[in-house]
Chains A and B, each alone.
Chain A
Amino acid sequence: MQPLDPTSLPDNDNIPGNHYAYCVRLTGQLFMQTGRMIAYYPAPNGPGIRFEPLTTASVSGFVAAQFSAPLYARDWVVATGQGHLILGDRGYDINSYDLGDGNLTLRAANLLAYDATLELKQSIVPGFLTLLGTGKFLASSSGPVIFAEPPIRVDPQALVGWADCPSPSHHYDAGWMSGFLGGAMGMMFGVQSGEERQYDFTGAGTVLLQSSEKTLADPHLVQQLEGQVGALDVPGLSHLQSVIAQRLSSQQQH
């Protein structure tokens, strides 16, 4: 096993023989999710590499304007300078994708980094982010990514993302939901597995799948739901309160 040689690191490729680590050659600015960088080598005789939060004054207004996902702003930094960055994520496979004047929506936890030429927006699907424009980005997946064409129905946990707008919607298995067993199971477990609820993709485009993952606690989901509470009226709020109280008491019993 050869130790890594900083002079012969790959430019924008996986570390040789390793799907789980990716080496980016930094030549300008790169948006990065915090906690995904495992090592970096500044270029010799270069200006070095700086990591700055998006709110820092030195991050120019133009670059900051490329990031319009306020919920996630604290999770992202801008890397500036010359050199190599090595990224990794939970031992997941990492792949680089080229986006050419297109749009792609990804699970927020699986997006590692993207060029400052791309624009990032919060998707209307909770927990997902949309990239717009032209440039490269890095995404991770539990096992290799499977590309599928709609029409297809996907377990929400197995979904990595989708490109070119194949309009996602929820699909509930009517027979299963209305059945007595389905109701009882829903009451007992409180969680829905992929068999009862899927994302339904129709229309033209591509859907990216992975083997399902152990879901991480997503702090943004809470924020996102909280943001939507403002749209509720009093009956809605009191209904939500009773639902939450019920869930809480059933969780505490276990």
Chain B
Amino acid sequence: MPFEQVNGKVVSVPVAPGREVLARRGAMLAYTGQVQFAPVRASAGGMGGMAGRMMAGEQVQMMVAQGQGTVHYGYRGMYLTIIEVGQMGPLTVEADRLVAHDAGLQATLVFLGSQGGIRGAVRGAVSGQGMFTTQLHGYGTAVVLSHGGTIALPVQPGQTTTVDPQAFVAHVGQVNADIALNASWRDAVGRGSGEAIQLKMTGNGTVYVQASEQKI
């Protein structure tokens, strides 16, 4: 595992040729050795993808760290969680919350609407997340942001794990997230409290929630 937790708010990672790291712009705290940083453009989806990002407010600029050395990452004193991505399946996280990941992981932008039709779109609007989220495929490690740390809840077949959309941070594995409206449409327009609007997780994997309803 290349990422190492230094403390609750800082991680360190070795960088070497062939082992580049992608991280959110501004997340680099310090580094030793010869490391260069360069911006990367989200090529996935081409121009359409870019436009999508702009529309969704997902304009998070990523920087690639290359060279030889060790880099410390942290972001605005928020808590960091290291998540392994591998056999379990892809990691789904809002781009805002993604701090860093191995360059070996492939990031794609997912339109929530394609995942459960209009309900998915509603989920995006209701949970205060963008209509698009980032999915990471492959084998590697990613680091996500949270307020006050995360708790990992298992999602098992035949059993539904329900979370508050505002406390939702990320999920990994073959997990399907579906919005459940327990209330009238009035709640969907305003800011739901989490009791009325819930995310129902089914499948096999892990969901990470934070101990707060605060966004980044």
Query: Which residues of A does B touch, CB under 8 Å?
Result: 92, 142-144, 146, 148, 151-155, 158, 173, 175-176, 179, 181-182, 185, 193-196, 198, 207, 209-214
Q: Are A158 and B36 neighbours in the complex by a CB distance under 8 Å?
A: no
Q: How far is the CB of B118 from chain A (nearest CB, A)?
A: 34
CB-defined A-B contacts under 8 Å, sample of 20: A143-B8, A143-B74, A148-B32, A151-B32, A152-B30, A152-B31, A153-B32, A175-B38, A193-B25, A195-B28, A195-B37, A195-B63, A209-B10, A209-B72, A210-B9, A210-B74, A211-B9, A211-B10, A212-B75, A214-B76
The answer to whether B87 has its CB under 8 Å from any CB of chain A is no
Q: Are B7 and A146 neighbours in the complex by a CB distance under 8 Å?
A: yes
Q: Are A209 and B29 neighbours in the complex by a CB distance under 8 Å?
A: yes
* Selected contact of B9 from candidates A143, A152, A154, A155, CB within 8 Å: A143
Query: Interface size of B by Cβ–Cβ distance < 8 Å?
Result: 25
When C-beta atoms are compared, the residue in chain B nearest to A149 turns out to be: B32
Taking CB atoms, residues of chain A closer than 8 Å to B196 are none
When C-beta atoms are compared, the residue in chain A nearest to B75 turns out to be: A212
Q: Mark B7-28, 1 if CB is under 8 A from A, else 0.
A: 1111000000000000001111
Q: How far is the CB of B147 from chain A (nearest CB, A)?
A: 12
Known: A175-B38, A176-B37, A195-B37. A143 touches B77 (CB 8 A): yes
What 12 additional pairs, Cβ within 8 angstroms, besides A92-B77, A179-B38, A182-B39? A143-B10, A146-B10, A148-B30, A152-B30, A152-B32, A176-B37, A211-B9, A211-B75, A211-B76, A212-B29, A212-B75, A214-B77
Taking CB atoms, residues of chain B closer than 8 Å to A158 are 29-30, 72, 74
Query: Which residues of B does A touch, CB under 8 Å?
Result: 6-10, 25-32, 36-39, 61, 63, 72, 74-78
- Alpha-carbon gap, A61 to B137, bound state (A): 67
- In this complex, the member of A173, A179, A195, A209 whose beta carbon has the largest number of chain B beta carbons within 10 angstroms is A195
Q: How far is the CB of A154 from chain B (nearest CB, A)?
A: 4
Known: A173-B37, A175-B38, A176-B37. A154 touches B29 (CB 8 A): yes
Q: Are B29 and A155 neighbours in the complex by a CB distance under 8 Å?
A: yes
Q: Are B7 and A144 neighbours in the complex by a CB distance under 8 Å?
A: yes
- Alpha-carbon gap, A154 to B32, bound state (A): 9
Taking CB atoms, residues of chain B closer than 8 Å to A151 are 32
Known: A143-B74, A193-B25, A195-B63. A209 touches B30 (CB 8 A): yes
Q: Are A142 and B9 neighbours in the complex by a CB distance under 8 Å?
A: yes
Q: Are B29 and A181 neighbours in the complex by a CB distance under 8 Å?
A: no
Q: How far is the CB of B78 from chain A (nearest CB, A)?
A: 8
- Alpha-carbon gap, A185 to B40, bound state (A): 12
* Selected contact of A212 from candidates B7, B26, B32, B36, CB within 8 Å: B26
- Alpha-carbon gap, A101 to B6, bound state (A): 30
- Alpha-carbon gap, A176 to B67, bound state (A): 14
